[in-house]
Chains A and B, each alone.
Chain A
Amino acid sequence: MASTEQQSPATPPASTGGTKTSRWRSRAFRGLAYQVILVVVVLLVGGYLAGNTLENMRVRGIQSGFGFFLQPAGFGIGESMIEYDSSEPYWKAFVVGLSNTLRVAVVGIVLTTLFGTLLGIGRLSRNFLLRTLCTAYVELFRNVPVLLQLLMWYFVLTDWLPDMSAALNPVTGFFLSKNGLSFPIPVWSAGHFATLLGLGGGIAAAWWHARRARHAFEISGAQWPVLWPAIGMLVAGTLIGWLVGGMPGAIDMPERGELNISGGGAVTPEFIAVTMGLTIYTAAFVAEIVRSGIQAVPRGQSEAANSLGLSRAQNLRLVLLPQAMRVIIPPVTNQYLNLTKNSSLAVAIGYPDLVSISNTTLNQTGRAVECILVMMTVYLVLSLLTAALTNWYNTRMAIKER
């Protein structure tokens, strides 16, 4: 094709005579033909399946449409962050399921990041024992199916722990039993508004301090301490707000009753098992990513930084981490997504996430197509959002080359 164009640049290739043109034509034609065939096949198969589905639904008397989402669900949900009872419509149940999925995902992602990063750095430690221990962890947990791990943790939490009446009390205010973990929470009172305001003030002050420190650094090269003063300001602001608000001190402590634990906040063993299992599993992968990301920065970078007199901390902060992060962040986001998708395994231990709600709904109403479609769409939207975010990050942070 290129040669045709070179021979007669003035005329479009299609109009040049001879065998070359017909070859070009036949190539284009073949391409078109492939595509038409593909489209036709996809349409035919899709049509066939859709036809069968409609026919089957007619035969079995299954109704279709999303109207049933407005009908009362009629089943209760064990745990929910939003108000819900069984008389509320199906769509509300789905929202509860989604919120439960997101709760596991968010808590899991935060814990995985912390834990995985520590493990990854541990794998590069100069200390032989620490290094070996971290490697053993990674090799152990990433090579066993996550479902199995979830089931195992759930079994341990619900079978090995004592009944509520004999709940373990490792630290004052915390009770651990077959029914989950109870912990103290502060009781909300008007005075807490002042505390929040104080915290806001602290954040503002810390931000202002960081700005001034930066300015000073640029003007005079003076390096002010930033981290500790900022933390101090946060704490002081919160404390002052709390004092001004009249020192609201009521804390809802869980207490041991005759048979059960009452009061305080609580999480179910299902939630603990899912979050813990996913964290332990995903952290092993994150650790590998962190390790290889740090190792991906060439040794020469550290050597150059050292030869310029940068300290170890400066080298880490100004040279190594900015480069390692670019390698680490995209695959880690992918792991976050995996964690979110794996939270669907909660269905196996009865944590009411999106998948188990749609599973229950499906069994109750028989609306397989609708339930599965909703479930898939939600996950797809989450994935696409994350992918868009990752792409944006990648283009923004890409190291500029020729």
Chain B
Amino acid sequence: MSDVIISFAKVNKWFGQFHVLRDIDLDVARGERIVICGPSGSGKSTLIRCINRLEEHQEGHLSVDGVELTDDVKAIEKVRREVGMVFQQFNLFPHLTVLENLTLAPTWVGKMPKKEAEERAMAQLERVRIAEQARKYPLQLSGGQQQRVAIARSLCLTPKIMLFDEPTSALDPEMIKEVLDVMIDLAGQGITMLCVTHEMGFARSVADRVIFMDQGQIIEQNSPTEFFANPRSDRTRDFLSKILSH
């Protein structure tokens, strides 16, 4: 199983006494694209935030690209360099220009010369079709532009895995498409992707696997065609009917 890049084995997590992740077993293959959906509060964000240890799990084993996540700071730093993350609220650094946002990690974490970092940053900005905004500050951009900058920023360290936590939920409808287009591009390039989203169109066209979560557990997982055509559990059916009804 050398091709498993992320592996959850009986992972459990609690917030205080609240059991938020329950016996999660999940293997993600290299290059696989996974969409995670489920009702609010079901633990989707917590699940993917465990992967780069923004949250720590308390039971079970979780390893990313062969590195087991424990309290070991070195291991965490190594994993974080290989995992890029995009947040719902963009979380760009407002005091830095777009370009500085992109070069921050490559220069400080990747120890890359500034010149090279800037060239690569510009290349990433081209990729998300926003190169002309490089000298502006994040808050001068629209939400869709900001989210594309955030994607470019997380790509600058050439991660092996990309995590998306509802990247389009804070956006106006007309901006959702520009962000999804960038994500679809990315999906075509063989990077491992885990994406929490309720954009079912995106799931259908891009995902290799759709995972449905409820109450901190993985209820059902399947290929998108199967998942949407034959949901097996009542909960999934219920959820899908709500989300696809409009």
Contacts and interface: CB of A to CB of B under 8 A. Distances in A.
| A contacts B directly (C-beta below 8 A) | yes
Interface of A: 217-223, 298, 300-301, 303-311, 314, 318-319, 322-323, 326, 399-402
Contacts of B154: 307-308
Nearest to A306: B54
Interface string B90-131: 011111000000001101111111111100000000000000
A350 B100 CA distance: 55
A221 B112 contact: yes
B18 to A, nearest CB: 19
B137 interface: yes
A314 to B, nearest CB: 5
Contact of A402 (B85, B116, B139): B139
B61 interface: no
Contacts of B93: 301, 304-305, 319, 323
Given A402-B139, A402-B140, A300 B87 contact: yes
A147 to B, nearest CB: 40
B195 interface: no
B237 interface: no
Nearest to A218: B114
Closest 5 CB pairs of A and B: A304-B91, A221-B111, A300-B91, A218-B114, A308-B105
Interface in B163-179: 163
B115 A218 contact: yes
Contacts of B113: 218-221
A309 B83 CA distance: 9
A309 B104 CA distance: 10
B154 to A, nearest CB: 7
B94 A323 contact: yes
Nearest to A307: B85
A300 B105 contact: no
B218 interface: no
A298 B92 CA distance: 11
Counting contact residues on chain B (CB < 8 A from A), the size range is 35 or more
Interface of B: 52, 54, 77, 80-81, 83-85, 87, 89, 91-95, 104-105, 107-117, 136-137, 139-140, 153-154, 157, 163
B137 A303 contact: no
Contacts of A326: 95
B81 A309 contact: yes
Contact of B94 (A221, A222, A307, A399): A399
B52 A399 contact: no
A309 B161 CA distance: 14
A312 B19 CA distance: 28
B117 to A, nearest CB: 8
B97 to A, nearest CB: 9
A69 to B, nearest CB: 49
Contact of A306 (B80, B107, B137): B80
A308 B111 contact: no
Given A218-B107, A308-B80, A310-B104, 17 more contacts: A220-B113, A221-B111, A221-B112, A301-B93, A304-B85, A304-B92, A307-B52, A307-B80, A307-B154, A309-B157, A310-B108, A319-B93, A323-B93, A399-B94, A399-B137, A402-B139, A402-B140
Nearest to A311: B77
Contacts of B85: 304, 307
Given A218-B115, A308-B153, A309-B80, A301 B91 contact: yes
A277 B85 CA distance: 49
A257 B246 CA distance: 94
A301 B96 CA distance: 12
B87 A221 contact: no
Nearest to A214: B114
Nearest to A322: B95
A220 B154 CA distance: 21
A221 B107 contact: yes
B13 to A, nearest CB: 17
18 contacts: A218-B107, A218-B113, A218-B115, A220-B113, A221-B110, A221-B116, A298-B91, A300-B87, A301-B93, A306-B54, A307-B80, A307-B84, A308-B105, A309-B80, A309-B157, A310-B104, A323-B95, A399-B95
